[in-house]
Amino acid sequence: MNKVYANATEALDGLLFDGMFIAAGGFGLCGIPELLLQAIKDAGTKDLTFASNNAGVDDFGIGILLQTRQVKKMISSYVGENAEFMRQYLSGELELEFNPQGTLAERMRAGGAGIPGFYTKTGVGTVIAEGKEHKEFNGETYILEEGIFADLAIIKAWKADDTGNLIFRKTARNFNVPAATCGKICVAEVEEIVPRGSLDPDCIHLPGIYVHRIIQGEHEKRIEQRTTRKREEA
Amino acid sequence: MPWDRNQMAARAAEELEDGMYVNLGIGIPTLVANYVGDKDITLQSENGMLGMGPFPYEGEEDPDLINAGKQTITELARTAYFDSATSFAMIRGGKIAAAILGAMEVDEKGDLANWMIPGKLVKGMGGAMDLVAGVGRVIVVMDHTNKHGQSKVLRECTLPLTGKGVVDRIITNLGVLDVVEGGLKIVELADGVTEEEMRAATEATIVD
């Protein structure tokens, strides 16, 4: 079993095809698989559907694949930071399916856990509920949402061992865990691959069973909104 | 004088009790954190954190540590991190005691609209629909009227809904209203605001 690859292009070799469905981790620009997204851009794979909470910004994250028109459809909860996204969406070039953020996370988790659908109160009485099965439980109305089963999951973690056990750092964990589980194949990019045995088995955030290929690389880790306080206020 | 943003935030902070886990929305709700005083409140950020701290000092920003508004923040001694599915499991599962959110419109049945205006740029609902459907208590903090002077407290919301029958309490620059059987009940008036002024600015049915 060798899960470690030299770079993002090699790690994606044989996995990409036009029209495929990719689940991507990250929240805003935090914890996004920036190296794998660049490699998908370089590969030129087209008509992609992405399940991803956000769509990046114009020149970073999924935004770089929008510039090259490689994305056909986004399944997201919030896309406000991307002008090119809005242009393509308003002109009808890009399909968009809004999912409430928790529904999107649970759709990924459910897909990864072999659960094809689940009922939730989120969105009842809103446009999100239109066309979906409604069902009463204990006097309350719920709607049916479906699990996500993606062809490929691409995620970013902090550290991995060579068996694919992963740990994340702070709020960069976000969608990376549920996204990883809902792909037929999961490719993870990490900041550091550490020797087997050096991660505490009690502190693994995502067990290696979910991770098929790993690369280590340098990450830009761009900050979307830099907010600070002054020392005097302390 | 009607309340200003900070007075509204201070009034909203009175809704919070010691030991509560709370989610604060963007805008005026964010200011509520400045007014919790000695109460032991744990703030949730739905991108995967309990125990949200203040903004970092300049030079100490960490790209791996942001809030749901994508702003750089800090952690506290009590902080716990988790993934997005876990985060919304605790929201949907009713573990978060309260959410304090902004709104474009609220109506007398507790319907809330705060995510889209048809014909304008639609950015998405983010976690708002999950929050209002899941948390114990939904408190809306907003101006009573829009910039044209029209009431935002309506008989029936005109904008696409974020949630139906989800709002418990409305705090505006004019005072505090509760969603009750048959309409809204005035709980409190801002200093110097009369009941007549409150009624005149409110389109929704006010019940005694």
Q: For A61-93, what is each residue's pLDDT tens digit?
A: 999 999 999 999 999 999 977 888 888 988 999
The residues of B annotated as belonging to the active site are 46
Amino acid at B71: Q
Q: For A114-139, what is each residue's pLDDT tens digit?
A: 999 999 999 999 999 999 999 999 99
Whether the CB-CB separation of A23 and A51 falls below 8 Å is answered with yes
């939730």: which residue's tokens? A120
What is the reported pLDDT for B26?
Answer: 87
| CATH number at B5-201 | 3.40.1080.10
Q: How far apart are CA B186 and CA B141, in angstroms?
A: 15
Distance in Å, alpha carbon of A107 to nearest chain B alpha carbon: 9
pTM of structure: 0.96
Q: How far apart are CA B124 and CA A99, in angstroms?
A: 8
- E-strand ranges in chain A read 21-24, 48-51, 71-76, 95-98, 117-120, 134-137, 140-146, 150-160, 166-167, 183-193, 213-216
Task: Write out residues in chain B with pLDDT < 50, as ranges.
Answer: none
For chain B, give the number of residues. Answer: 208
Give chain A positions within 8 Å (CB) of B60. 228
Give chain B positions within 8 Å (CB) of A221. 63-64
Task: Please tell me if residue A231 touches chain B, with a CB cutoff of 8 Å.
Answer: yes
Q: Tokens standing for A38? A: 């660049």
Q: How far apart are CA A24 and CA B57, in angstroms?
A: 31
Contact A223 B63 (CB under 8 A): yes
- SS3 of residue B18 by DSSP: coil
| Whole-number Cα distances in Å, B91 to A26, A114, A153, B67, B137 | 19, 22, 25, 16, 11
Provide the total of helices (H) and of strands (E) in chain B, helices listed first: 5, 13
Closest C-alpha among A228, A215, A210 to residue A189:
A215
Whole-complex ipTM: 0.96
How many residue contacts between A and B have a Cβ separation below 8 Å?
180
Q: Confidence class of residue A228 from pLDDT cuts 50, 70 and 90?
A: very high
Q: For B101-150, what is each residue's pLDDT tens digit?
A: 999 999 999 999 999 888 777 889 999 999 999 999 999 999 999 999 99
What is the reported pLDDT for B122?
Answer: 80
Q: Using CA coordinates, name the residue in chain B closest to A110.
A: B85
Q: Tokens standing for A32? A: 């996004």
Closest C-alpha among A202, A206, A210, A102 to residue A153:
A210
What is the reported pLDDT for A233?
Answer: 53
Q: How far apart are CA B149 and CA B1, in angstroms?
A: 16
Looking at chain B, list the stretches that DSSP marks H as alpha helix, in order from N- to C-terminal side: 5-13, 28-31, 84-92, 128-134, 195-200
Distance in Å, alpha carbon of A223 to nearest chain B alpha carbon: 5
- SS3 of residue B46 by DSSP: coil
Amino acid at B15: E
Q: Which of B44, B125, B156, B162 to mutate to test the interface with A (most CBs of A within 10 A)?
A: B125
What is the reported pLDDT for B94?
Answer: 97
Q: Which domains does chain A have, with CATH numbers?
A: 8-117+137-216 (3.40.1080.10)
What is the reported pLDDT for A13?
Answer: 98
Domain boundaries, chain B: 5-201
Q: Tokens standing for B80? A: 């716990």
Does residue A149 surpass a pLDDT of 90? yes
What is the reported pLDDT for B184?
Answer: 98
Contact B70 A30 (CB under 8 A): yes
- SS3 of residue B25 by DSSP: coil
Contact A76 B92 (CB under 8 A): no
Provide the total of helices (H) and of strands (E) in chain A, helices listed first: 6, 11
Does residue A232 surpass a pLDDT of 80? no
Q: For A203-227, what is each residue's pLDDT tens digit?
A: 999 999 999 999 999 999 999 999 9
Whether the CB-CB separation of A229 and B56 falls below 8 Å is answered with yes
Give chain B positions within 8 Å (CB) of A178. 83-85
Q: For A157-206, what is each residue's pLDDT tens digit?
A: 999 999 999 999 999 999 999 999 999 999 999 999 999 999 999 999 99
What is the reported pLDDT for A82?
Answer: 85
Q: Using CA coordinates, name the residue in chain B closest to A222.
A: B63
Contact A126 B163 (CB under 8 A): yes
Whether the CB-CB separation of A98 and B125 falls below 8 Å is answered with yes
Q: Tokens standing for B11? A: 């009034």
For chain A, give the number of residues. Answer: 234
What is the reported pLDDT for A165?
Answer: 98
What is the reported pLDDT for A76?
Answer: 97
Between positions 162 and 221 of A, the ones with CB within 8 A of B are 168-178, 205, 221
